[in-house]
Amino acid sequence: MRKIAATALAVLSPLAAAGPANAEPKPERGQVVVIGHRGAAGHRPEHTQGGYELAVAMGADWIEPDLVPTKDHVLVVRHENEISGTTDVSLRQEFAGRKTTKVIDGRNVTGWFTEDFTLAELKTLRAVERLPAIRNRNTVYNGYYQVLTFQEVLDLAKRLSRQYGKQVGVFPETKHPSYFRSIGLPLEEPLIQIVKRGGLNRPDGPVVVQSFEPSSLKRVAGELRVPLWQALGTTGQPYDLKQAGDPTTYADMMTPAGLAKIAEYARWIGPDKSSAIPLNPDGSSGTPTTLVADAHKAGLKIGVYTFRSENQYLPPQLRRGSVPIEHGDALAEYRAHIALGVDAFVTDYPDAAVLARGEQGHEPGRRVTTDLAPQESSLPGEG
């Protein structure tokens, strides 16, 4: 088999040099951290015990819980505080009267909200697949898993760390922190308390905290020594900056000057993958930007989101067939970002990310390249 091209290794060299400076959970081998997005969301309903267990079994280094509060101020893990799409609450007649409309970050949202339920009430609900039209096979698990607390995810990660003989990182995101602070249910204080109580407040520990709102990260930075990750959107600006009258946009934050400011409080940035390899008007992949190199120059590591295997989430040249929910050549997309030098993948399919990452440290079946054109296969079992 061919060895990785020298030019690709040159692209990856900044990662190799970063080794001892890393202050967060590291992959067991290889250079790119694989983060199970809400678990293994391509294979199990999001934020469930089964999803997190499967993600780690597939080789994920970190697992991601999105944090929202209950009425009695316990942090639980859900994609959003509106839970009609991720639980069976709409089928529960005893909670029918709690359906309502709220303004969340300036948008009207209708449904059922975690902050209107006690933890005991949420525990009576069961998780369901959020994208049943795309991931119909995951609906077999509807009604099986409970809603987890943040503490339960930390406990699960500790058990999985023992089981697999490695430190499993936990990557919590504070969701809508300004909104929750405004209604008297702030996220940062209980998060800080839980991390401290668990003996996890250290830069080389298993916790990395992320948020789209800089003020949330800065509150955490004032109390914790864990690494912080500034998440970045594709349009608009962080809601806390909008509320404060600060005109800074996500685009501004991804300039060299903006990255330098982020580096004052965070260790990572987390942009959408299209910020590294943009899409052309026809949906095909365009010329890579300088964002990865600019982040490294600012002393930041960069993890990109969200990698999915279905055709509808891939650029046209990587799709296989015409069915949107069938899987395309997702491995080529990982390889292109590896060649750019990204430090982490946030992925719904940890198994695919681990396979692509494994080509870095072993004799590869394909050369690593920034070219997203499908390549001739030479991996065993592929044709």
pLDDT bin (cut points 50, 70, 90) of residue 83 is very high
pLDDT, the chain, mean: 89
| pLDDT of res. 372 | 52
Contact present, 372 and 332 (Cβ < 8 Å)? yes
Alpha-carbon span 5 to 158, nearest angstrom: 38
Which two structure tokens, joined as six digits, stand for 166? 């490695």
Flag whether pLDDT at 137 surpasses 80: yes
Regarding predicted confidence, which is higher, 372 or 11? 372
Percent of the chain at pLDDT > 70 equals 86
Higher-scoring residue by pLDDT: 364, 89: 89
Alpha-carbon distance of 312 to 113, in angstroms, equals 30
Return the structure tokens found at 355: 């396979």
Q: Which strand (E) or helix (H) includes residue 231? A: strand 228-232
Nearest to 261 by CA among 273, 249, 253: 253
Residue pLDDT, tens place only, 175-213:
999 999 999 999 999 999 999 999 999 999 999 999 999
- Give me the pLDDT at residue 359, please: 82
Q: Which two tokens stand for residue 4?
A: 């990785």
Per-residue confidence band for 7, with pLDDT thresholds at 50, 70 and 90: very low
Whether pLDDT at 130 is above 70: yes
Mean pLDDT of 288-297: 98
Class of domain 6-80+147-361 as given by CATH:
alpha beta
Bigger pLDDT: 24 vs 168: 168
Q: Which of 83, 180, 190, 184 is nearest to 128 (CA)?
A: 83
pLDDT recorded at residue 347: 98
Domain boundaries, the chain: 6-80+147-361
Q: Using CA atoms, how far apart are residues 97 and 83, in angstroms rounded to an integer?
A: 15
153 contacts: CB under 8 Å, gap ≥ 6: 52, 63, 65, 77, 170, 172
| pLDDT at residue 31 tops 50 | yes
Instruction: Return the pLDDT at 24.
Output: 58
